[in-house]
């Protein structure tokens, strides 16, 4: 009997155009506020992660998070992850060559990224296979190990929502002559 064990759930969808437009107008008009934040000064991207208050308040993003919550509940139910709907979010703006080193959000339940703006030159987010042996297990040792078994690369686009278990290690690759703006968040 063949059984898949230790699979990792991953969820992605494009939100409605009205939510995309509404969120863009609220976030993009306030991006300049990131320039003066202490957390943005020694970072690989501009962010309000370290701030007590975000540049765009929760009441301004209520419609977005009502929609995201619906997707998070669906994702949690289908993947058997316990979900606490308490959410912490932050905005990150990546300019040319900005990146984010490999990291996880392991003390939380579900993490996610919503893409406010991105284009064809925006660097992808890369998720590593949580099995530490598969990454070094190259095709020389086993030609059946494909690239997509080592990592998942997700190309950003405006309105894209991705949800994943918080323990999943991921990184953001530098963009080339592009700007990528995201709302990242954790549940739990």
Query: What digits encode the pLDDT tens for the residues 43-59?
Result: 788 899 888 889 999 99
Q: What are the φ/ψ torsions at residue 116 (nearest 5 degrees)?
A: -80, -45
- Pairing state between β 110-117 and 180-187: antiparallel
Q: How many Cβ atoms sit within 10 Å of the Cβ of residue 102? A: 11
Domains of the chain: residue spans and CATH: 12-187 (2.60.120.620)
Query: What digits encode the pLDDT tens for the residues 95-107?
Result: 888 889 999 998 9
Query: So what's the pLDDT on residue 111?
Result: 98
């Amino acid at each position: 009997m063949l059984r898949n064990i230790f699979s990792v759930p991953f969820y992605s969808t494009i939100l409605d155009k009205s939510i995309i437009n509404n969120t863009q107008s609220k976030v993009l008009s306030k991006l300049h506020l990131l320039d003066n934040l202490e957390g943005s000064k020694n970072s690989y991207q501009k962010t309000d992660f370290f701030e007590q208050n975000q540049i765009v308040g929760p009441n301004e993003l209520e419609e977005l998070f009502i929609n995201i919550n619906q997707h998070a509940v669906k994702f949690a139910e289908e993947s058997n992850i316990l979900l606490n709907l308490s959410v912490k979010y932050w905005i990150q703006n990546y300019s040319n060559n900005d990146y984010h080193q490999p990291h996880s959000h392991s003390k939380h339940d579900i993490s996610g990224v919503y893409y406010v703006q991105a284009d064809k030159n925006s660097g992808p987010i890369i998720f590593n296979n949580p099995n530490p042996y598969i990454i070094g297990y190259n095709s020389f040792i086993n030609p059946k190990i494909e690239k997509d078994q080592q990592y998942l690369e997700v190309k950003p686009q405006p309105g894209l929502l991705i949800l994943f278990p918080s323990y999943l290690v991921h990184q953001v690759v530098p963009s080339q002559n592009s700007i990528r703006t995201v709302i990242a968040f954790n549940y739990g």
